Amino acid sequence: MSIANILLVDDEVAFVEAMTKRLKKRDLDITAAYGGPEALEVLDKNPSIEVVVLDVKMPIMDGIETLSEIKKRHPLTEVIMLTGHATVDSAIEGMKRGAFDYLMKPCELDQLISKVKEAAARKHAHEEKIIQARLKNITGRRT
């Protein structure tokens, strides 16, 4: 079983490909997307994706817009922003809109993996809480 189910979103094809290969080698289940709209499409089709690694600077639909849309459609999916230095402000803006964390390019692979693990753990914790709450709700009604 993989450590986490990841969607990697960046318009730099070479980067996505290299990263995908390396992450797969480390037992991560990874899907690639090369833009915001494509990422949303993948997420809609594949609800098992737990963590999205999202580049901030992309054409057509930038990382912040994509993040807002993801959070609207899939509130429990965790997002890690990936950014060059000049867009740190927008990464912080992303944090305010619900991103889990941000990393600066080029980033250490180990650092990325540990962030992904933390994000996945938080997602699971959220889901657990929701299930507990629902169970409580259901049992509460019965008694």
Residues in region 37-96 near another protein by CB under 8 A: 57, 84-87
Binding-site size for another protein (CB under 8 A) equals 18
We find the least distance from the C-beta atom of residue 102 to another protein, in angstroms, to be: 14
DSSP helix/strand/coil, 61 = coil
22 CB-near residues (< 8 Å, 6+ apart): 109
Q: In the complex, what is the shortest distance from the CB of residue 31 to another protein, in angstroms, rounded to a whole number?
A: 17
Q: Counting contacts by CB under 8 A, is residue 34 touching another protein?
A: no
| Binding region for another protein (CB under 8 A) out of 20-28, 41-49, 90-98, 121-129 | 20-28
Instruction: Locate all alpha helices (DSSP H) within 3-142, ordered by sequence.
Output: 13-25, 36-45, 63-73, 88-96, 109-142
Distances (CA, A) of 59 to 32, 66, 105, 129, 141: 16, 11, 18, 37, 50
Residues that bind another protein (CB under 8 A): 12, 14-15, 18-19, 21-22, 25, 57, 84-87, 104-107, 109
